Structure 1
Amino acid sequence: MAFTDASLTALRVFREVAERGTLTAAAAALGYTQSAVSRQIASLERAAGSPLLERRHDGVRLTSAGRVVVRRAASVIDQIDATARELAGLPDEHSTVRLGWFASAGSGVVPQALTALRETHPAITVVTREGSTPALVRALRAGTLDLALIASAPPFRPPDSETPALVLRTLVERGLCVAVPAAHPLARGDFIDIADLQGQRWIAGAGGDGVMGVWPSLDERPEIAHTARDWLAKLNLVAAGCGITTAPASLARVAPAGVRILPVHGGPSEQRRVMLARLPGALPEAAARVAEALRLAAVETRAPS
């Protein structure tokens, strides 16, 4: 079986697996059974004559051959989709930019950039979706995103070890803060001493990192009272007096009533970078315009730490 016999369905399935990171997640996204996804991947590997995925306990990772296939698959699928749009009489998508962003970027940077673009470049269409930084990086590799806003914490390592390395641009660096109820004793000053974080009840983030939302350098086992994936839910739990949580300073402008977001003094600095990531290569004009709008919005929405 030659690779030229590979089906378009198999290529779509493979790209979804590459983006999602697991066969289970890809099956759920596509509405397939996991066995159906496995069969499509197996057919593609037979056509390629080599393994395309490395199966691991935490999901899958692309082999060197898999990276070649996913890159080419993205191009083939995009061309097929463009042909279908043209035949249907729909406008082309040369000015469409696919942008991914991590959760808190939706509170300021992304809306402000999109508002500015509507005024300065109304012909550019930006399609966005939220995701975790690892998921956004996989989507860039799979060719389903053009740009991604990702978060990075010290020691600021590359977001993955794949080749070629992603092009990364730091848009802003800011300190991590803590959100506390306005009536809480910690809210009385303009900052929180790190020693006063001992013994607090925390609201953590749900998902892959069970302690996200807890101060990173806390030298005790934290008491996690609640977990929530959504930022607004976490901040409303804070407002209700249910605990405290970490938050970027930029959320202060959108925090619900009854919440103060304060910097922490003492201990190691907890800086966070907002970075724009993309695959290497020439950046189309529309994507370059979006990237510049995001840079300006990141600077303008930066809050003091």
Structure 2
Amino acid sequence: MDFTDVSLTALRVFRAVAEQGTFTSAAASLGYTQSAVSRQIAAIERAADAELLERRRDGVRLTAAGRIVMRRAKVVLDEIEATARELSGLPEQAGTVRLGWLPSAGAVLLPLALTALRRSDPGLHVVGREGTTPSLVRAVRAGSLDLALLASAPPFRPPDTESPPLAVQTLSERPLRLAVPATHPLARGDSVDVADLRGQRWIAGTSSGEDRLLGVWPGLDERPDIAHTARDWLAKLHLVAAGFGLTTVPATLASAAPPGVRVLPVRGGPQETRRLFLARLPHPPTDPVTRVATALRAAALEADLPAPSSPPS
């Protein structure tokens, strides 16, 4: 086992593959060819004299040896990046927290938390990105994110099956809501009966996660009539406002609904709840990470407050 010849490029490639989950995605993010990525991974595995990535049909994941190498690689890469900042005259950012979030969290919750942190902790620097649940979980495992803001549906399984389990902190658990055009007959009351959802048109977005058709009310006993598909929550809500169909929304997004949309509870049938939670590696969090988590929890409570909806027409 000899790591003396392992290059920084190989470490960066290894981190990208672990985070992206496939050689192809890592190559695209780095601007490399897939064969170049494969060569770098082969070189670092030769140096480790161990398989660092488990190759599976749905991508790759870190082995036990891979997690050890990733932990050490993160320290090396962080030090190199800090050195580059210092040499360029940029200030150190010891209070930096790397946060990942789902699209539905970025519309309301994230701005609330960042605004509060700007007032209470002006020296705290939060950086990160939006992503899917699998990509964010991989990034946490790879050490590229300190926190991931995720959501789940019953039966509320852990975000992944790897060991040790990620540490999770529930921020809120609220019933799923329905976004209805204000001119729609279903918008006349203060709630919608689940039986009245039969035969409706839906604004949906396909997903490989627990919700196969994000935007369609779960458990419908019919094949849903999908009018439009959209990945962006705001686009879905504007399509609803224009009268093109219904969509589901987390309770925390109710305040982001544009004029012409009523966000209503659904009565009857099984309770459809959604849990918003933070995930991180299972070691004691740093003080900046704890402060960000506290701000996100406060923002989740604020976002859960009832928001006024457009009056029915």
* TM-score, normalised by the number of residues in structure 2: 0.93
- Please state how far the C-alpha of 1:107 moved relative to its aligned partner: 2.0
CA distance in 2, matches of 1:173, 1:108: 16
CA distance in 2, matches of 1:76, 1:218: 51
Equivalent residue, structure 2, for 1:302: 304
| Residue 176 of structure 1 pairs with residue 176 of structure 2 | yes
- Please state how far the C-alpha of 1:304 moved relative to its aligned partner: 4.8
Moved more, 86-95 or 141-150: 86-95
- Please state how far the C-alpha of 1:91 moved relative to its aligned partner: 1.1
Runs of 4+ deviating beyond 4 Å: none
Q: Report the 3-state secondary structure (helix = DSSP H, G, I; strand = E; otherwise coil) of the residue aligned with 2:157.
A: coil
CA distance in 2, matches of 1:241, 1:34: 45
- The aligned runs of 1:61-76 (5 Å cut-off) are 61-76=61-76
CA distance in 1, matches of 2:61, 2:122: 39
CA distance in 1, matches of 2:112, 2:138: 25
Equivalent residue, structure 1, for 2:218: 216
**Unpaired segments of 5 or more residues in structure 2?**
308-313
CA distance in 1, matches of 2:220, 2:70: 41
CA distance in 2, matches of 1:288, 1:88: 29
| Residue 247 of structure 1 pairs with residue 242 of structure 2 | no
Q: Report the 3-state secondary structure (helix = DSSP H, G, I; strand = E; otherwise coil) of the residue aligned with 2:195.
A: helix
- Please state how far the C-alpha of 1:206 moved relative to its aligned partner: 4.1
- The aligned runs of 1:1-305 (5 Å cut-off) are 2-209=2-209, 210-304=212-306
CA distance in 1, matches of 2:175, 2:79: 43
How many pairs were matched up? 305
- Please state how far the C-alpha of 1:157 moved relative to its aligned partner: 0.9
Is the Cα contact below 8 Å between 2:255 and 2:303 reproduced in 1? Answer: no
> What amino acid maps onto 1:220 in structure 2?
E
- Please state how far the C-alpha of 1:68 moved relative to its aligned partner: 1.7
CA distance in 2, matches of 1:42, 1:220: 50
Is the Cα contact below 8 Å between 1:249 and 1:262 reproduced in 2? Answer: no
Task: For residues 37-62 of structure 1, give each alpha carbon's deviation from its aligned partner in whole angstroms, at most 9, with x where no partner exists.
Answer: 11111111111212222222221122
- Please state how far the C-alpha of 1:145 moved relative to its aligned partner: 0.8
RMSD of the TM alignment (CA)? 1.6
> What amino acid maps onto 2:278 in structure 1?
L
* TM-score, normalised by the number of residues in structure 1: 0.95
**Unpaired segments of 5 or more residues in structure 1?**
none
Q: Report the 3-state secondary structure (helix = DSSP H, G, I; strand = E; otherwise coil) of the residue aligned with 1:39.
A: helix
Is the Cα contact below 8 Å between 2:240 and 2:246 reproduced in 1? Answer: yes
